[in-house]
């Protein structure tokens, strides 16, 4: 299964926020600059993550973004489900496959996809890395 760039960027944004010192907030501009992602992409992803409660976003001069939940509470499957428009591994109906109804490929790929998501449900943001090892992200904060 290949995840979209939006999901990849969502994970990167969450990891960046994980590395922040306590009480520190990041800006969309800073994240976009550090990762080389357009500000509009970062803004869309931040808005989606904030609406779902994974991050806290405050506007204004003293505003910024930070994690909205403890890293242990942010499960990777929840991020994938939020960011991906479809977790269906194949679409046998568009265009219609001449083997539709006679092939079990979709069934097996769906089971594999469910196993993938099931595994991710056991992994939290806290499991991804020791925030102390992300010094490169914290420079100039």
Helices (H) and strands (E) in the chain, counts: 6, 2
SS3 content of the chain, % helix, strand, coil (to 5): 50, 10, 40
pLDDT tens digits for range 90-133: 778 888 888 877 888 888 988 999 999 999 999 999 998 776 66
pTM for this predicted structure? 0.85
In the chain, the N- to C-terminal Cα span, in Å, equals: 35
Contacts of 76 (CB under 8 A, 6+ apart): 11, 120, 121, 123, 124, 125
- DSSP conformation class of 99: T
Query: Phi and psi (nearest 5°) for 26?
Result: -105, 165
Cβ atoms of 79 and 7 within 8 Å: the answer is yes
Separation CA 50–CA 19 (nearest Å)? 18
Q: Which tens digits make up the pLDDT trace of 3-40?
A: 899 999 999 999 999 988 888 999 999 999 999 999 99
């Amino acid at each position: 299964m290949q995840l979209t760039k939006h999901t990849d960027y969502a994970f990167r944004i969450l990891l960046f926020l994980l590395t922040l010192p306590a009480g520190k907030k990041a800006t969309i501009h800073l994240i976009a600059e550090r990762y080389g992602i357009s500000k509009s992409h970062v803004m869309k992803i931040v808005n989606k993550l904030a609406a779902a409660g994974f991050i806290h976003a405050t506007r204004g001069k003293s505003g910024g973004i930070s994690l909205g939940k403890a890293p242990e509470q942010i499960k990777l499957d929840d991020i994938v489900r939020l960011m991906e428009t479809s977790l269906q591994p194949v679409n046998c109906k568009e265009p219609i496959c001449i083997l539709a109804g006679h092939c079990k490929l979709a069934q097996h790929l769906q089971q594999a996809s469910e196993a993938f998501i099931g595994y991710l449900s056991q992994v939290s943001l806290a499991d991804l890395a020791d925030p102390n090892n992300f010094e490169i992200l914290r420079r100039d904060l």
